[in-house]
């Protein structure tokens, strides 16, 4: 039985390929294990103890992967953090988590190297994957260590798009279940290679990609950052599985259109999407260009992360996220007349709770173990789930419910639109529907309004169409909708004045 995250690689053949690093270096599972053991010894000698929280300030690469195993071997908590975050975010996380120290993956990330210098990090030694750079230890409290799989393995901080970030405690049992379930549902095996371009410090890249790779004995090809041209090049090498977020597919489509490329030949067996609503137009175009079905899925940090996925033997023509994963229960709480309600889920994937926040934990997990996801969905007769949007993103306009994902889907179908984000704005006792978008061709708000009026009922048509150079995004590519109104306040004020 796998009691710890590092047990996931135990049954894999030592001479089989585990990692293709960002610089092209290749490592077997035997080498990965040896590096992890040596790194664990270095960290113990540095002063890391079981129950300590260790920040993994990184971008994708071999050092990142080995550090996960090393921290697990010590029984410390992994606290993943994208190296590109500003210092004030690091300070807030260090303070809340009470981290003992930070590991900085300087070989794969210039940003990590800059932070390492800022925090006076030292080199503990050199391993085949590069220098092991760690900040000085701090005097902090040690959390209890449990012998079983209920021990906390990782502490993930949510992006904070709907409020103040919280530390999500995921146990070894949560993560090993998620790894087993995800690799099983996709039929991943030792012959597969997954492209790891989604940030490994995000729960999707960590629990939804890397750990399932280890459980299946497959290999992972790391890219530290999403650069569309590099991704397209990697997809034409040994890669058989490509998980991404919808915004990445939109960016790939733009590059391919700009280059006049109509088809891409690869060895891909499965491509999949998750993290935010999948646009049906993007889905159809990606499937046509790559000649592979684009699968969809749904999850969240508090669920380790996967909740529902489409099945390989049951491909969907629509953008449903499929049926709930084996071993979990899903229900739609308090559904409306159209069957839409809040998604609740229960199972071995549900987090232990929010770190140092029992009140928030009690408000999110029911006494009988259901996780209130905060997402709106409905179920088909066959149990397939459709994501409608976030509870907090629901717009109430003139007494009608407006779901942003539905408006975005229609807007994204316009030939000139690359990407869009729809939000509500409270004003005069009502909520305005506002659309922010990136366009690849010259298009006017009047043209967009006419398009929307042709394809949607009038109350769903946005009041304003704000065309911008780029939408604010998290490291995964997820649009940070909470930043849209303050960032473009000046433009909105001018538009309001014209309508007055």
The answer to whether residue 169 sits within a structural domain is yes
Domain boundary among 322, 352, 379: 379
The phi and psi torsions of 481 (rounded to 5 degrees) equal -65, -30
Range of the domain at 451: 394-499
Distance (Å) of CA 5 to CA 171, 210, 458: 9, 11, 51
Residues 415 and 267 in one domain: no
Residue 416's domain is classified under what CATH number?
3.30.300.30
Q: What is the pLDDT of residues 69-92, one digit of tens each?
A: 999 999 999 999 999 988 988 999
* H-helix segments, 241-334: 246-259, 280-290
The string of pLDDT tens digits covering residues 402-422 is 889 889 989 999 999 999 999
Residue 388 lies inside a defined structural domain of this protein: no
Q: What is the mean pLDDT of residues 227-243?
A: 96
Q: Name the domain boundary from 379, 408, 425.
A: 379
pLDDT band, residue 161 (cuts 50/70/90): very low
> Within this chain, do residues 291 and 427 fall inside the same structural domain, yes or no?
no
- 262 lies in a domain? yes
Question: Distance between CA atoms of 133 and 148, rounded to whole angstroms?
Answer: 30
Tell me: the pLDDT tens digits for 180-223? 999 999 999 999 999 999 999 999 999 999 999 999 999 999 99
Q: Are residue 325 and residue 423 in the same domain, yes or no?
A: no
- What would the mean pLDDT of 436-460 be, rounded to a whole number? 92
Higher pLDDT among residues 29 and 163, named by residue: 29
Q: Is residue 367 part of a domain?
A: yes
Place of tokens 């010590």: 74
In the predicted structure, residue 278 carries a pLDDT above the cut 90: no
pLDDT given for residue 275 in this prediction:
83
What pLDDT sits at residue 232?
97
Residues 356 and 445 in one domain: no
Are 376 and 343 in contact by the 8 Å Cβ rule? The answer is yes
Domain count, the chain: 2
Confidence bin at 477 (pLDDT 50/70/90): confident
- 278 touches 480 (CB < 8 A): no
Alpha helix segments (H runs only) across 220-357? 228-235, 246-259, 280-290
CB 299 within 8 A of CB 208: yes
- Clarify whether residues 402 and 372 are in a common domain: no
Confidence category of residue 64, pLDDT binned at 50, 70, 90: very high
**Residue 387, in any domain of the structure:** no
3-class SS of residue 152: strand
User: What does the pLDDT read at residue 36?
Assistant: 98
Question: 138 with 285, same domain?
Answer: yes
d(CA 64, CA 443): 43
Strands 341-346 and 464-467: unpaired
Question: Are residues 69 and 178 part of one domain?
Answer: yes
CATH number, domain at 103? 3.40.50.12780
Mean per-residue pLDDT over the chain, rounded: 94
Residue 324 lies in a domain: yes
- How far apart are the C-alpha atoms of 170 and 80, rounded to whole Å? 12
Indicate if the pLDDT at residue 160 is higher than 50.
no
Indicate if 321 and 400 belong to the same structural domain. no
Determine the 3-state secondary structure of 126 from DSSP. strand
pLDDT value for 112: 97
Q: Are residues 285 and 192 in the same domain?
A: yes
- In the chain, % of residues over pLDDT 90: 84
Confidence of residue 279 (pLDDT cuts 50, 70, 90): confident
Cα–Cα dist 154/76, whole Å: 9
Could you tell me if 282 and 247 lie in one domain? Answer: yes
Q: What is the pLDDT of residue 165?
A: 75
* Tokens describing residue 263: 């088809």
253 inside domain: yes
**Domain shared by 310 and 258, yes or no:** yes
**What confidence category does residue 159 fall into, taking pLDDT thresholds of 50, 70 and 90?**
low
Strand partners, 221: 20, 195
Of 464 and 160, which is predicted with more confidence? 464
Q: Is the pLDDT of residue 162 over 50?
A: no
Q: Render pLDDT for 280-336 as a digit per residue (tens, 0 to 9).
A: 888 999 999 999 999 999 999 999 999 999 999 989 999 999 999 999 999 999 998
Q: Measure the CA–CA gap between 427 and 459, rounded to whole angstroms.
A: 15
Task: Give yes or no for residue 1 having a pLDDT over 80.
Answer: no
User: In 34-111, which ranges are E strands?
Assistant: 53-58, 77-82, 101-104
- Domain boundary (345, 379, 413) is at 379
- Whether 386 is covered by a domain: the verdict is no
pLDDT band at 100 (very low <50, low <70, confident <90, very high): very high
DSSP of 372-426: EEEEEEEE-TTS-EEEEEEGGG-EEETTEEE-HHHHHHHHHTSTTEEEEEEEEEE
Most confident of 9-23, 242-256, 474-488: 9-23
Query: Angle at which helices 87-97 and 110-118 pack, to 10 degrees?
Result: 70
Same domain, 116 and 220: yes
Residue 164 is predicted with a pLDDT of: 67
């Amino acid at each position: 039985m796998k009691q710890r995250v590092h047990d996931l690689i135990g049954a894999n053949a030592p001479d089989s390929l585990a990692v293709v690093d960002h610089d092209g270096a290749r490592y077997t599972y035997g080498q990965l294990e040896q590096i992890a053991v040596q790194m664990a010894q270095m960290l113990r000698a540095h002063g890391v103890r079981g129950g300590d929280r260790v920040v993994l300030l990184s971008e994708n690469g071999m050092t990142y992967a080995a550090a996960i195993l090393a921290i697990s071997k010590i029984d410390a908590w992994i606290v993943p953090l994208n190296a590109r975050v500003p210092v004030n975010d690091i300070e807030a996380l260090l303070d809340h988590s009470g981290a003992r120290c930070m590991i900085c993956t300087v070989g794969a990330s210039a940003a990590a190297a800059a932070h390492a210098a800022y925090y006076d990090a030292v080199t503990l030694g050199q391993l085949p994957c590069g220098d092991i750079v760690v900040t000085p230890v701090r005097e902090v409290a040690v959390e209890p260590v449990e012998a079983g799989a209920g021990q906390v393995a990782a502490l993930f901080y949510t992006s904070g798009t709907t409020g103040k970030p919280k530390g999500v405690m995921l146990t070894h049992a949560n993560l090993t279940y998620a790894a087993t379930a995800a690799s099983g549902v996709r039929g991943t095996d030792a012959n597969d290679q997954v492209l790891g371009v989604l940030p490994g410090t995000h729960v999707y890249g960590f629990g939804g990609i890397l750990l399932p790779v280890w459980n299946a004995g497959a290999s992972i090809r790391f890219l530290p950052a999403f650069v569309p041209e590099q991704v397209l090049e990697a997809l034409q090498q040994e890669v058989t599985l490509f998980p991404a977020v919808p915004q990445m597919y939109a960016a790939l489509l733009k590059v391919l259109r700009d280059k006049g490329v109509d088809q891409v030949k690869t060895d891909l067996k499965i491509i999949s999407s998750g993290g935010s609503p999948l646009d049906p137009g993007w889905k159809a175009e990606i499937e046509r260009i790559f000649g592979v079905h684009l699968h969809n899925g749904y999850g969240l940090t508090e669920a380790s992360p996967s909740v529902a996925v489409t099945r390989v033997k049951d491909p969907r023509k629509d953008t449903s996220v499929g049926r709930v994963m084996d071993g979990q229960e899903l229900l739609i709480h308090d559904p409306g007349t159209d069957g839409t309600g809040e998604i609740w889920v229960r199972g071995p994937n549900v987090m232990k709770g929010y770190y140092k926040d029992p009140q928030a934990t009690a408000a999110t997990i029911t006494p009988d173990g259901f996780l209130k996801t905060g997402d709106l969905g409905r179920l088909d007769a066959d149990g397939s789930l459709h994501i409608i949007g976030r509870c907090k993103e629901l717009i109430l306009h003139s007494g009608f419910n407006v779901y942003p994902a539905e408006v975005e889907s229609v807007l994204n179908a316009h030939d000139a639109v690359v990407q869009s984000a729809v939000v509500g704005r409270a004003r005069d006792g009502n909520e305005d529907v506002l659309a922010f978008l990136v366009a690849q061709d010259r298009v006017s708000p009047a043209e967009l309004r006419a398009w929307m009026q042709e394809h949607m009922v009038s109350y769903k048509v946005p009041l304003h169409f704000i065309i911008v150079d780029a939408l604010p995004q998290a490291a995964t590519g997820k649009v940070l909708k909470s930043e849209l109104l303050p960032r473009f306040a000046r433009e909105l004020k001018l538009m309001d004045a014209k309508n007055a």
